[in-house]
Structure 1
Amino acid sequence: MGAAMNSRSLLFAFALIAGSLATAQTGIQQGEYFWDTDPGNGNGSPLVAVDGTFGQALEQVLAETGTLPTPGAHVLYLRVQDDDGGWGPAFSTVIEVLQGSLLLPDIQVSQGEYFWDTDPGEGNGSTMLAFDGNYDSALETVRLESSTLPAPGTHTLGLRVLDVNGNWGPVFRVVTEVLPGSITFPAIHVSAAEYWADSDPGEGAGTPMLAADGNFDSAVEVFRGGGIPVPVIAGTQVLWMRAQDDDGGWGPPFGVVVNIDTTVTGTVAVPELA
């Protein structure tokens, strides 16, 4: 694989997965990389987790360095360490380091727009909103809100986005059929959530979960739990979670395999989420 790189900085993004036993969930504790010659487990250059923290079985990582090997073909190696301290095998790929430097532009969406059928020109469409409230990354989920639609029938919806350098991208088009009449969508909110280990105690009888922002008031919520459900049994368990909507209906449970260690005597302080 050939690649042109900045001679002063190098940035890679990889999805790495830690090996795990069939009976336990294993997370990545740290990662490292090195060029050509293996310095030994733990002696490579550290990798950085994209989300800021290692701990998942599947992680996206960054390798950043101020120096590169001499121009030519080199082998880049990466490996990760699991929660038990074991290092996995090294993953390798051939990289060609080119002469000189390549400055990579800052790729980021700054705004988006949409229009029906006829293109009004760049910047003259209806505004699209970023789903998370801010245009601040190269990949964005967008939504469009409109109180008016074209006449019933088949129409073409066009969308495009603007980068941070003021350049509009190409138009993405999709054929949409507008139906007569109106459709009312009910408000969908999470009103409560619960969790339990192994055996389902019944809807509403699990251990309550809290909304990370302090309120259950949206369709998508980040949850946090309290203590481990009792009775606590050491070993591999299935941790289950489910949520309730505004109408009192409980959704299907979601389960994840965890390994509970009852020999740990210390406590871990979990910071409050802002």
Structure 2
Amino acid sequence: MRKSIIKSIAMLALMLVSVGAWAQGGASPYIGSTHVYTVNMEDGNNTPNWEITDPSGTPLTSQPTAYMTESKTGNTATLELTYDASWASVASPTGTANYQIRFTESTSTSCVALRKLDVEVLDNSFYVTTATNYSDCNPESGEVHAQGDVATHDFTIKVDLHNSGAAFDTWNFDYKLTLNAESGQTTAASIQSVTINGQVLASPGTGTLTSPNIAGTTGSINVVVSVEGEVDADQTVQLDIVGGSAQKGASTTPDNGDTTVSRTGTYTITGLPDTGDIQTDL
């Protein structure tokens, strides 16, 4: 009787885990995303096993072991699974499961408890863009300056989140920043600071960088690049989006890599005329 009660509790826990996985997106993952599945075993000394099957329960001919990470802590068995396009496909027609995740707990006497979760893999609709293409005179236009004077100004480039599915908890983007400035200046232009979504970065950095996490309810943010340079020199800041990821609970979804959308934004400040200073009685 006691063992039956324990089994009933264990079965209830497994049911709750399945419901939790569905609520977090593990039952309807985007292609390319990574999700974590857990099961509460009755006895941690028993043998756990995870398997991916087709919708009918037939095991895949080749298990995607390169994308499966299994672990067990105490009585909790865990599977981290990435729905990489090398093995997973998008469900067709939409609204139908195209895989099952199956879990077994086996005793030393070969008694086996089997659980399953139906999975529908969805097309990944998450990507990040920027399309800013702004150009204007140096804000110091009309102000009194000497030839070669230096000033600091902000270059603002807008970045947008795109996602037609359920809202994420957070998202971020990978980017490269380039400063193209007119050559031959006494004082070379330089990036002084970078602010993303109101957060000032500790360092502007170089190469490919990752933005701070942004709330999933925030669809657009500004990247503000502060540049110091001569007021009579052209300066252009270019932002290239090279990737990104979105988080929902324990799951992670990568940018879908759509090449048909704009991933580059530019902001140009045109230098003022390089007018000489007023001379007298030459």
State the TM-score, normalized to the length of structure 1: 0.30
> Which of the two has higher C-alpha Rg?
2
Tell me which protein shows more helix as a share of its residues.
Answer: 2
Structure with bigger RCO (C-alpha 8 Å, 6+ apart)? 2
